[in-house]
Copies of this chain bind each other. A is one copy, B any other.
Amino acid sequence: MQLSERVIAVVGGDEREREIARLAATTGATVRAYGFPWPDGGIAGVTRAQTAAEALAGADYALFPIPGIAADGTLFAPSSPEPIRPDAALLAGLAPGAKIILGWPDDLLREAAAAHGIELVEYEHDTELMLLRGPAIVEGALQIAIAETDVTIHDAEVGVVGHGNIGRLLARTLVLLGARVHLFARNPVQRADARAAGCVPHPLTGLPERAAGLSMLFSTVPSRIVDEAVLRRLPPASLVMDLAAPPGGIDLDAARALGHRAVWARGLGRRAPVTVGASQWSGVFRRITEIEEKRGSA
């Protein structure tokens, strides 16, 4: 895949976008960047733009950050001096037929893109990218579990609710670290999968009864399974961690009121930015490759 005739703009984000921009430049593309923390020594092959508009001008691909659009319609860009609002004016400068690859858009961005004939390629709910971020998320959860408990994961009785993409990775890692992992899932297929991975499977209805024996409880499902009845049965000062997408599945206020160490783990994907940026880029690059192949054959 030769991208030497293409212009890629990386706008907004954090240290992950730094790695994405660096890797984008290794394809031979022209890469312009704005709105993420710029390293002292610069980034080989990447031009630092002075404004978002300058970065996007004439770009064939605009890469917007993973966490997507905030409620106020601006990009996630904590290190940017001013908010970056991807409105019609900003998108007007993109090349004809440009694509925006991003976590997820809001309605305004959808309208602005449609007005300019720009395709949006979303990956927030993309299982591939979630799995590529998976090890970073799991290791972030391990870091917290180690820091916030008085016991080792090794030899601990641990509960995990849900055996989807993240629950499965987390449960398997805890098993390898020597925990006895009780996996709670409604779906018998997930339970059979958990059993094969070395967990002790239980239906969700088994959670209240088992809670008293657990010293850590991780929830990866977005519904309220870990409710106050469960929290009351956990041993005092247990760790409860919510890894589900918002609005999460654990009543963290109730957990804290009961004396537990309650952690909202949203954002763990932001750690290990070099690894995660590289994983993310591998997924983005596959999409660009597919788009270019279609163009080539069209």
Contacts and interface: CB of A to CB of B under 8 A. Distances in A.
Copies in the complex: 4
B151 A146 contact: no
Given A143-B143, A189-B127, A189-B131, A149 B272 contact: yes
A155 B275 contact: yes
Interface string A128-155: 1101101110011011001101111111
Interface string A187-208: 0110111011110000000000
Interface in A248-267: none
A176 interface: yes
Contacts of A140: 146
Contact of A139 (B134, B146, B173, B189): B146
Interface in A54-77: none
A131 B274 contact: no
A105 interface: no
Contact of A131 (B127, B139, B193): B193
A163 B123 CA distance: 22
Interface residues of A, number: 47
A147 B151 contact: no
A116 interface: no
B188 A286 contact: yes
A189 B272 contact: no
A271 interface: yes
A227 interface: no
A129 B177 CA distance: 20
A186 to B, nearest CB: 13
A86 to B, nearest CB: 27
A150 B274 contact: yes
Nearest to A153: B139
Contact of A134 (B132, B135, B196, B276): B196
A178 B180 CA distance: 11
B272 A132 contact: no
